[in-house]
Amino acid sequence: MVGNTVSHYRILEKLGEGGMGVVYKAEDTKLKRTVALKFLPSHLTKNDTDKARFLHEAQVAAVLNHNNVCTIHEIHDEGENPFIVMEYVEGKTLRDIIASIGAKHSGDDIGKSDRIRPGNASPLKILDVIDYSIQIAEALKAAHKKSIVHRDIKSENIMVTETGQVKVMDFGLAKLAGPSQLTKTGTTLGTVSYMSPEQARGEEVDHRTDIWSLGVILYEMLTGQLPFKGEYEQAVIYSILNENPEQITSSRSDIHKSLNKVVKKALEKDPGKRYPNAGSLIKDLKSSGKISSKLPSEEESIPSIAVLPFRDMSPQKDQDYFCEGMAEELINALTHIKGMKVAARTSAFQFKAVDLDVRRIGEELGVKTILEGSVRKAGNRLRITAQLVKAEDGYHLWSEKYDRDLEDIFAIQDEISLKIVENLKVTLLEKDKAKLLRRYTEDQEAYDLYLKGRYFWNRRYEGGLQKAIEYFNQTIKKDTSHAPAYSGIADSLSILGLFWLRPRDVFPRAKSAAQKAIEIDETLAEGHASLGWILFMYDWDWTAAERKFKRAIELDPRYALNHMWYAVFLSQMGRVEEAMVHSKRALGLEPVSLIINACSALVLWTNRQYGEAIKQGVKAVEMDPNFLLSYWYLSLGYNSKGMWKECISALEKTVVLSGDSPFFLGAIGHAYAKSGQKKKAQEILCRLKELSKTKYNSPINEALIFLGLDEKDQMFEYLEKAYNERSFMIPSLKVAPAYDSVRQDPRYLELLKKIGLDK
């Protein structure tokens, strides 16, 4: 549909898809405005009841003219593809907002069915919850006044704009009073987790069923969880009919009893005990808002810290790796302390060598304390200074100077960590203390080598990855039980096997290293994540890969890279909504990580959100104009939008930054071919043939170019070779937009079947 014109609407991009509609962003070519078009899915157009319900949605919503209801402009019901033209709302769903905030804290219980998901996200701020709830209730008040019952109020159907305005969407199941109803008593419609008891029983419902659903959303916003949970729909229904949810006050300490009463009254199982109308609910919400505005938020009471990279004060200025590693080790240790908020590595490290006041840094990172320090190394002697500073006023809470031998580095780290905990008044249980003081080696030289490996791994370029492997191997020679070093080798080899080296030469070695890391320490989240990535990208064992990603989340829900790897996996399996949850969670945990920002653009592209993919890609490029992968992922969005000038410009940067990597040459050859520059595409094919003499050239590169040239026989020939060489691009075939033109070819379907992606 994208690029087509329907009536006088030019379709720009796909926005989403549900059981009763496919939504596209479009340009109204007559009135020169952006709109959203909602089409009835093709498999429902032959069903008169479904078609009538679809048209009914437009008629019901058109009755309403309210700031908090998505406006319906018109409906086209002629022909085989009826569609609704409605207001284009730029923002996020309330579900996505809850998930993105939850990303800062936890990754548990993700990936289950959205309709019955337990949920375990972080809650929204109290005043935001009340504001959103009042706006939703105002929309319901207007609908109920017109005798309209929505019947499918849920966080997914609530859009919030950047300015905080709420828009209620999807009136597909709405019921108008009177004899023209489309459904009868006894029919259960709606989303199970948000259904009122009477709706779950299939009984006649009135406006109070919407109030119940809003109560569920209130609970969800306040706790990050749904009040009624179960592993399958009947279990959820049983919970709705027979069980009481856990008190919201047990989830957080900043909820006033007045708000607790609002939630309880909205969730009364007996409709007669519920709020009689939206107006009375709004009145109590406003009253609770006045009280809540005077209370400190839970977030304000949580101890929080950012550990900045230590400054290198050594005469030779050669201790950069040690300064970064010292800070990273402290961050990793403090992250395991329950009840403490710790700024992520990439968030804190953006202030490296930046002369900013600590108050500004505290505001930027949302923390109340800053740890900063310096390192001076001369021979085997160390001088380390550390100071804990209040971000609010710049006053020191604690400071210390250590003049020790290099072998005392572990004791110094332990002392700094314990002093931080002591000064932030964090209660430290014995198990927390064990995590805080845990280290993977007692060998100071092995520790130093591991820090050097991490330093180069974080740079993500070919030479840096090779150096990282060298240092990790040296670490293991010094201490064969260093599990993180094995995981580091696995990760470095995996990335080299994606873009620079033959997969068969590196992935088996990477797998052995990841398995060794887990063998040494089964609780190492990084080891499970590394193995999950290899099982996904090389073994094509989808079930085992997902099991490892989930295990890593159980062990360390704050490990952002695992969330992003899992998001890439889910997106390539076609599980769009789950992929977006993990992608946003990764971004919430590491908002300034280059690789996570870049990969987020990849997930958006795979999910066919091309406009958002471009925005994310541009953001990633702006963060660091020399980060290779940002340009590649940005080019994908441009490619799918047919923006060839921008696409080729981005790919030219990848070719330069990668040192003429055949992979990125294949990508630009594809773009040349698609944009009509066939001669240049042929030149790239010749160039790849020549480069094959000195560099690894995956057959996927030629396959992409022949795809662009529409030479299908040769494309399939090279695609088969890429399959045999286990190219990392093969797992993307199920969903990659680039292959849409051959998706129904029997040879393509056979290839999907061979790799187990035909379902």
Which residues are tagged catalytic?
A: 152
Phi–psi pair at 514, nearest 5 degrees: -65, -40
Say which residues have a Cβ less than 8 Å from residue 719's Cβ, sequence separation at least 6.
699, 700, 703, 751
Residue 175: helix, strand or coil by DSSP?
strand
Angle of helix 444-457 relative to helix 409-423, nearest 10 degrees, comes to 70
DSSP 95-118: HHHHHHHHTTT--TT-SS-TTT--
Residue at token pair 């494309």: 715
Nearest to 23 by CA among 41, 44, 45, 49: 41
- CA-to-CA distance for 190 and 18, rounded, in angstroms? 13
Residue type, 450: Y
Stated as kind and residue range, the H or E segment containing 161 is strand 158-161
Strands 83-87 and 33-39: antiparallel
What is the rounded end-to-end Cα distance, in angstroms, of the chain? Answer: 23
Q: Are 126 and 292 in contact (CB under 8 A)?
A: yes
For 390, 477, 532, 562, the CA distances from 522, given in Å and listed in that order, are 38, 21, 14, 16
256-261 CB contacts, 8 Å cutoff, 24+ apart: 256/288, 256/291, 256/292, 256/295, 258/284, 258/287, 258/288, 258/291, 259/126, 259/130, 259/222, 259/288, 259/291, 259/292
What DSSP character marks residue 69? B
Say which residues have a Cβ less than 8 Å from residue 579's Cβ, sequence separation at least 6.
567, 568, 569, 570, 571, 603, 606, 607
For 129, 346, 622, 729, 755, the CA distances from 633, given in Å and listed in that order, are 35, 20, 13, 13, 24
Residue 352: helix, strand or coil by DSSP?
coil
What DSSP character marks residue 306? E
Residue 149: helix, strand or coil by DSSP?
strand
Phi–psi pair at 696, nearest 5 degrees: -75, 125
Q: Are 623 and 137 in contact (CB under 8 A)?
A: no
Strands 33-39 and 21-28: antiparallel
CA atoms within 13 A on the CB side of 120: 13
Q: In terms of residues, how long is the chain?
A: 759
